[in-house]
Amino acid sequence: MPLISMKKMLKDAQKRNYAIGSFNAINLDMVRGIIEAAEEENSPVIICHAEVHFQYTPLGKIAPILINEAQDADVPVAVLLDHGKTFSSIMKAMQLGFNGIMFDGSRLSLAENIEKTAEIVKIAHELDVSVEAELGHVSRPEGGGAEDDEDAAKEEHERLHTKPGQVSEFVEKTGVDCLAVAFGTAHGIYLSEPQLDFDRLAQLKEATDVPLVMHGGSGLSEEEFQKSIDKGICKVNYYTGMAFKATNDIKEKLNQTQENVYYHDMMMWSIESFKKDVRESLRRFDSNDKV
Ligand SMILES: [Zn+2]
């Protein structure tokens, strides 16, 4: 089916109290695992590619794969540029046919984040492309990396939490379709137990009608996901857990197998692993049977 608008998907999720999974896909195996999972769960899904992953798969090489697989799917799929940092990669993604982009201005001052996000929204909306922005800052880049000092890292996370008082101004001045917020989650692998600030999340939801987005979903418990969705999260980004699990599954299979293993065996194992993890995630987000 044709690509489905992320904005439309998230509005339905908001109305019916579930979350759409947004999964980073850096190659065809990942895309196949994600889309097969969504089809088996009868769930809408977002497939995305993050600017920080361009070093593994350039945008121009992955775009036709993501778009083609999305159009071939039997369930609604949106194709999103994740954590777009530069104006040129955002423009290129739209040119290549992505129907959603995230502009990550979370490291900028509030005024600059508003100005740059608004500029991108103006162009994107002319082209019918949905826009996600980030207010506050979810720490650590996609793909891992760890801060050395745990306490300093924690303090830093708290300082960067989204401030409810800034939300309505941000949304009004930029016109974004959904908003990534920081309330205690972190990208990559958690160094200590995540401390999610649900009171803050409830206040953020109170401050705006636009769907809220959670980044850094790898490693949260079932209850934490459920509570986050109940308090207003309509989109969950997920990558790290899926990437680790696939490697561990392959390691285990290699250790168990006595016969010759070919590259295509590993390829099929990885697709199976991605699929299993994504199916579980979609059920966790309650987006199964929502098509
Ligand atoms: Zn993220």
pLDDT reading at 151 higher than 80: no
Of 231, 162, 168, 224, residue with least CA distance to 202: 231
Instruction: Tell me if 229 sits within 8 A of 19, measured CB to CB.
Output: yes
Amino acid at 291: V
Of 214, 226, 245, residue with least CA distance to 22: 214
Instruction: Tell me if 194 sits within 8 A of 225, measured CB to CB.
Output: no
Condensed to tens digits (0 to 9), the pLDDT of residues 85-132 reads 999 999 999 999 999 999 999 999 999 999 999 999 999 999 999 999
Gap from CA of 216 to ligand 1 centroid (Å): 6
Gap from CA of 142 to ligand 1 centroid (Å): 6
Of 182, 167, 210, residue with least CA distance to 10: 210
Our measurement of the distance from residue 152's CA atom to the centroid of its chain's CA atoms, rounded to an integer in Å, reads: 26
Within 18-142, residue ranges assigned H as helices are 28-41, 59-72, 87-96, 110-126
Gap from CA of 283 to ligand 1 centroid (Å): 21
pTM above 0.85, yes or no: yes
Gap from CA of 73 to ligand 1 centroid (Å): 25
User: What is the third-level CATH fold of 6-284?
Assistant: TIM Barrel (3.20.20)
Gap from CA of 265 to ligand 1 centroid (Å): 31
Set 12, 29, 82, 230: catalytic member:
82
Condensed to tens digits (0 to 9), the pLDDT of residues 43-93 reads 999 999 999 999 999 999 999 999 999 999 999 999 999 999 999 999 999
Q: With left for phi above 0 and alpha for psi between -120 and 50, is residue 115 left, alpha or beta? A: alpha
Distance between CA atoms of residues 240 and 260, nearest Å: 29
Higher pLDDT among residues 155 and 230, named by residue: 230
Gap from CA of 217 to ligand 1 centroid (Å): 9
User: In the chain, where are the structural domains located?
Assistant: 6-284
Q: Is 82 a catalytic residue?
A: yes
Condensed to tens digits (0 to 9), the pLDDT of residues 201-255 reads 999 999 999 999 999 988 899 999 999 999 999 999 999 999 999 999 999 999 9
